[in-house]
């Protein structure tokens, strides 16, 4: 696809063929060097029925299932707009939770190894089963699917602040557990409170740099402070829901007269039975993801309390794989649209009514994990942010997992990180090697492009002290 530079960190794909709207990619030229296939996917998304404004991609763009990872697109149900599971991804409500401790790096360092030794068994992870919360029955799982973090807190796993500082106050509305298959239930029942594998992690960090002192204070962050960042999603339950509903939509598209340029963009009208079924199941998976991070947060708090005598308070919890019905101005009028964010984070601006009162003046916290051994960032939403108030979600892969594992061994990578003062607890050497920092884009360059494109602003930079790896 031909990209035309269209402003600072902004490239445009003019509509052609089946495209109904242009494509817009926010990036630098350097960040685009590994994005060829993904740029084609941006153009394919621009052909979806009912798509409005543009098909967007964030600076961490890379190839994904149907949609590029880093893709954002909105559709209008009044114009036959569709919902596509490929625009959310298999790990529904994968997201990031950040907690801030009441101690600094100097206070943690003497007990760091003890803390990491405590986290190692307390945080279930890897491909198989294992969970913080072993559910006694289907009733409790239904509570999670409908109530998310709120249900977990009601059952004693957290406090009210956890809900005030969580996107959607901890639970997505309109969840429909009846649209979740028995196979999805089976896969999720034994995994509530677990990291999983791949790029999921728990990282102990310190605040290395503050760019916006007022916002950092509102978020509860200060220089030198210890934080914990958790990155995970809806595990096998979310994956199965995506699989089930992609298959259903593939069968339904001919009945709705829908053709797409890539079968991985299987979709159905938002207001159709298939569309409503998927949105209900997706919301249930999103609530599972929120509860999953809530349980992991509680397990982490207990280790910090017991070993370091420290308290952890929630800064924010936000997802980066969701489709949501939102109100946005499109072509000069307010419209209710279905916004797909896949590997992209909502970044609400200052004054937005969905923000908790203590964050309303600053804008929404946006949590951007880096890669092992590199920085992570805390950003904030800005007024008039483009792409339906969206921004990046991480560094973005530049190599496949197979390529990454060929370049370094897990043991070698751990030794390098520990020489740099980062304690490592991994579930497998292969999994560790697959997530080497060399496999990812430069997260600082991604954040620079995001801020330069007007998608967000920097608040703080965090650096790793210890990593628990899935």
> Considering 328, 389, 393, 402, which one is annotated as catalytic?
393
Contact (CB, 8 A) for 119 and 300: yes
Residue 94, burial from CB neighbour count under 10 angstroms (0-12, 13-18, 19+): buried
Report DSSP letters for 317-384, one per residue: EEESEEEEEEEEEETTEEEEEEEEEES-EE-PPTT-TTS-GGGTTT--EEEE---TTS-EEEEE--TT
* 3-class DSSP assignment, residue 136: coil
For residue 318, how many other CB atoms are within 10 A of its CB?
23
Report the alpha-carbon distance of residue 339 to residue 323 in Å, rounded. 5
Is 393 part of the annotated catalytic residue set?
yes
For residue 154, how many other CB atoms are within 10 A of its CB?
12
Among 213, 181, 173, smallest CA distance to 457 is for 213
Q: Which two tokens stand for residue 17?
A: 């063929």
Residue 45, burial from CB neighbour count under 10 angstroms (0-12, 13-18, 19+): buried
Report DSSP letters for 59-99, one per residue: EEEE--SSSPEEEEEEE-GGGT-EE-GGGT-SSTT-EEEEE
Q: How many residues does the chain have?
A: 470
Q: Which two tokens stand for residue 419?
A: 């020489």
Report the alpha-carbon distance of residue 395 to residue 405 in Å, rounded. 18
Contact (CB, 8 A) for 180 and 237: yes
Contact (CB, 8 A) for 140 and 332: no
Among 4, 295, 20, smallest CA distance to 130 is for 295
Q: What Å distances lie between residue 468 and 116, 124, 128, 423, CA to CA? A: 8, 10, 16, 9
Strand partners, 69: 62
Among 10, 467, 85, smallest CA distance to 265 is for 85
- Active site members: 393
């Amino acid at each position: 696809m031909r990209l035309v530079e269209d402003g600072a960190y902004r490239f445009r794909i003019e509509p052609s063929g089946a495209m109904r709207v242009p494509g817009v990619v926010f990036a630098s030229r350097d960040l685009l060097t590994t994005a060829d296939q993904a740029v084609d996917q941006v153009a394919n998304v621009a052909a979806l029925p009912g798509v409005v404004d543009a098909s967007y991609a964030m600076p961490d763009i890379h190839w994904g299932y149907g949609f590029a990872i880093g893709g954002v697109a909105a559709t209008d149900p009044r114009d036959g707009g569709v919902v596509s599971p490929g625009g959310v991804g298999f790990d529904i409500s994968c997201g990031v939770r950040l907690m801030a401790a009441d101690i600094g790096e100097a206070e943690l360092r003497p007990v760091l190894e003890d803390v990491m030794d405590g986290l190692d068994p307390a945080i279930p992870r890897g491909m198989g089963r294992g969970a913080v919360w072993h559910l006694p029955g289907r009733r409790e799982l239904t509570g999670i699917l409908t109530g998310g973090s709120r249900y977990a807190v009601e059952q004693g796993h957290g406090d009210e602040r956890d809900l005030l500082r969580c996107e959607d106050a901890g639970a997505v509305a309109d969840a429909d557990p009846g649209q979740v298959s028995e196979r999805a239930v089976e896969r999720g029942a034994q995994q509530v409170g677990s990291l999983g594998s791949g790029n999921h992690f728990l990282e102990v960090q310190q605040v290395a740099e503050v760019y916006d002192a007022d916002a950092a204070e509102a978020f509860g962050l200060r220089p030198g402070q210890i934080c914990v960042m958790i990155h995970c999603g809806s595990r096998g339950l979310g994956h199965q829901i995506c699989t089930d509903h992609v298959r259903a939509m593939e069968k339904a598209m001919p009945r709705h007269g829908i053709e797409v340029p890539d079968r991985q963009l299987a979709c159905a009208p938002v207001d159709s039975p298939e569309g409503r079924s998927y949105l209900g199941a997706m919301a249930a998976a999103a609530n599972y993801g929120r509860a999953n991070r809530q349980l992991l947060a509680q397990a982490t708090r207990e280790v910090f309390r017991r070993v370091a005598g420290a308290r952890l308070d929630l800064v924010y919890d936000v997802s980066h794989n969701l489709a949501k019905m939102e109100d946005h101005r499109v072509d000069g009028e307010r419209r209710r649209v279905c916004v797909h964010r896949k590997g992209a984070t909502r970044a609400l601006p200052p004054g937005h009514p969905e923000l908790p009162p203590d964050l309303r003046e600053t804008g929404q916290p946006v949590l951007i994990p880096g890669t092992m051994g590199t920085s992570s960032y805390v950003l904030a939403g800005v007024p008039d942010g483009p792409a339906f108030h969206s921004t990046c979600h991480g560094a973005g892969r530049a190599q496949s997992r197979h390529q990454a594992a060929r370049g370094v061994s897990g043991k070698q990578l751990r030794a390098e990180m520990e020489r740099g003062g980062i304690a490592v607890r991994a579930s497998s050497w292969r999994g560790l090697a697959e997530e080497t920092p060399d496999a990812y884009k430069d997260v600082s360059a991604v954040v620079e492009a995001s801020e330069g494109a007007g998608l967000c602003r920097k608040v703080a930079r965090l650096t790793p002290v210890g990593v628990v790896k899935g």
